[in-house]
Amino acid sequence: MASAAKQNKGSRHELGFLSRLLWSCVLTAVLLAAVWFTWVHHEIYSTAAIDNAQTADAIAVFGAAEYGGRPSPVLHARLDKAVSLYHRNIAPFVITLGGGSDRDSGKTEGGVGRDYLLANGVPLKNIIAETNSVDTEQQVQRLANIAASRNFKHIVVVSDGTHLFRIALLCRRAGLDVYTSPRAQIGHIDSLDAAQRMTHEELSYTALALDLHVSWLHRWLEGKSD
């Protein structure tokens, strides 16, 4: 009986130790996650708040939704920023990025962007339209290909402020030297929408930093970006 009681006491002690170890691991993981996301949040916010545009070889406009051949408000704002930079002689070329889907009747984000630039004083010879990419990573890959073929060394990248920190990482990985330039805000963004945008970018950046290529997560995150 004494031996059985001693064994039970030992088992309880071992279980207690394992339980404490498990909770310690969980708390450590939570603390590390909190530190990581605090840093990512700060870097996204800091990048969004500063316009780093300076003299470069080209201006690249990252795609956003288009509606029947017309830019969405988000794409409109990005293109307006590119037009402003072009007319300030920041760079001699403007690159529009983004493809389309079967629902777009042949229209693409890059093509719509090209047409908008033409209507706003950018000559066709100074526009490079990329019309096949389907997400941010592909847009960066196509941009790197264009830069290599045109010998572009420095590029100003234009997108939403919260999008730029992730774009900068992708561009560095692709060997591109870029200057980030956020588009202007469109009207009033309520706190819920702002939180959703920030959360989307925090998760997207984390997945990118960890080299996570989970297809459903990738599609969901990219679907939240426009």
Q: How many domains does the chain have?
A: 1
With respect to residue 69, please indicate whether it lies within any of the assigned structural domains. Answer: yes
Lowest mean per-residue pLDDT among 12-16, 46-50, 81-85, 187-191: 12-16
Per-residue pLDDT of 60-81, as tens digits, reads 999 999 998 899 999 999 999 9
With respect to residue 175, please indicate whether it lies within any of the assigned structural domains. Answer: yes
CATH number at residue 179: 3.40.50.620
With respect to residue 28, please indicate whether it lies within any of the assigned structural domains. Answer: no
Per-residue pLDDT of 9-47, as tens digits, reads 556 666 667 778 888 888 999 999 999 999 999 999 999
With respect to residue 72, please indicate whether it lies within any of the assigned structural domains. Answer: yes
Please check whether residue 152 is in contact with residue 143, taking contact to mean a CB–CB distance below 8 angstroms.
no
Please check whether residue 178 is in contact with residue 157, taking contact to mean a CB–CB distance below 8 angstroms.
yes
With respect to residue 5, please indicate whether it lies within any of the assigned structural domains. Answer: no
Q: Write out the residue range of the structural domain in which residue 112 sits.
A: 49-223
